[in-house]
Amino acid sequence: MVVKAISKTAVIGAGSWGTALAKLLADKGEEVLLWGHDPAHIDALRRDRENRKYLPGAALPETLHPVENITEISECQCVVMVVPSHGYREVFTSLIPHLKDGTYLVSAVKGIEIGSRQTMCQIMESELERVGKSQSMHVGVLSGPSFADEVSTGQPTAVTIGFRDKPSAEAVQHLFSTDFFRVYTSTDIIGLEISAAMKNVIAIAAGISDGLGFGLNTRAALITRGLAEITRLGVTLGANPLTFSGLGGMGDLVLTCTGSLSRNRTVGLKLGEGRTLSQALAEMTMVAEGVKTTKSCFNLAAALGVEMPILEQTYQVLYKDKDSRAAVQDLFQRRLKEELCGEVGC
């Protein structure tokens, strides 16, 4: 099998995850540009050869080049988007004039835009179509259980890369694969993106449960029933049900709901302990995508008529000031049902 080689990559977004992915590639000897919107931050990366703000302790190889001029991506064959969902469209639109035909565009962002209710790949496809470039680009997603800190230190990790066509998925698969970072391929972009977005919402719910002092039984119930909700939404949008039992589905959900490094679980934990949302977010140094995603997914589920009780109660806690304990009680007082009453559960 001959797989197309990718010679130069740009990572857009110099937070913890963007830096970890850029370092992963640069450690392989790949030429990587790491773009960030803050010139002072980029200067610090160049000077310190370390992202002391978001990924302290991880040395940046010489083949990793921090840049603030977005036009420098014009020679890159792969562009990896790692910016928050609320600013994703604006940043991506600014990239389009500098993309050459045939570029692999990879979203490594786990969220859904509030206004449009679009996933990140849908945003890229719609913006490319608007300027007549949709046929000349390859759009995909990287997803799976992967904390930036552990990837940056070489902890064994497995993820999934999704493109509509197998050759594109395989090209990016080979680009990212290392001795410790194993990449599987998929053609189910929407399944991977819905899983990636919604697992953050369920992680907030799991954190709330932990903050309230509930035990492992409760957390297991939230994860399992959360997966049922994610699957219902994804299948309604055309996803393959099997995707939700894979790395981008169950794998990422378990990690984010249980891991101490999870930003979204941390937000939920603070809420369960009695803090307000504004207080919880003020104590965070990095973005917890699940907060905004709760609103966008709530609106999306309502528009599609998909029943998602955990999502609904999390939305009520975050945006309607509902008491966390009351939200848990309401979940358990719902009408009794059969667990498996269809392809994706009840």
State CA 147 to chain mean position distance: 11
DSSP lists the bridge partners of residue 55 as 51
Q: Which pairs count as long-range contacts for 21-24, CB under 8 Å and 24+ apart, including other chains?
A: 21/80, 21/82, 21/108, 21/142, 21/151, 21/176, 22/60, 22/64, 23/55, 23/58, 23/60, 23/61, 23/64, 23/152, 24/151, 24/152, 24/176, 24/178, 24/181
Biggest CA pair distance of the chain: 60
The type of residue at 268 is G
**Catalytic annotation, pick one of 23, 199, 270, 292:** 199
Query: In the annotation, is 322 catalytic?
Result: no
**How far apart (Å, rounded) are the C-alpha atoms in residues 197 and 295?**
11
Cα torsion for 193, 194, 199, 204, to the nearest 10°? 110
Q: Exposed, middle or buried by CB within 10 Å (0-12, 13-18, 19+), for 292?
A: buried
User: Could you give the CA distance from residue 143 to residue 107 in angstroms, rounded to a whole number?
Assistant: 9
| 316 closest CA partner among 306, 331, 335 | 331
Q: Which tokens in the block code for residue 131?
A: 């300027």
CA distances from 30 to 146, 174, 193, 297 (A): 21, 12, 27, 37
For the chain, the C-alpha Rg in angstroms (whole number) is: 20
> Whose structure tokens read 């945006």?
319
DSSP 160-186: EEEESSHHHHHHHHHHH--SSEEEEEE
Residues taking part in catalysis: 199
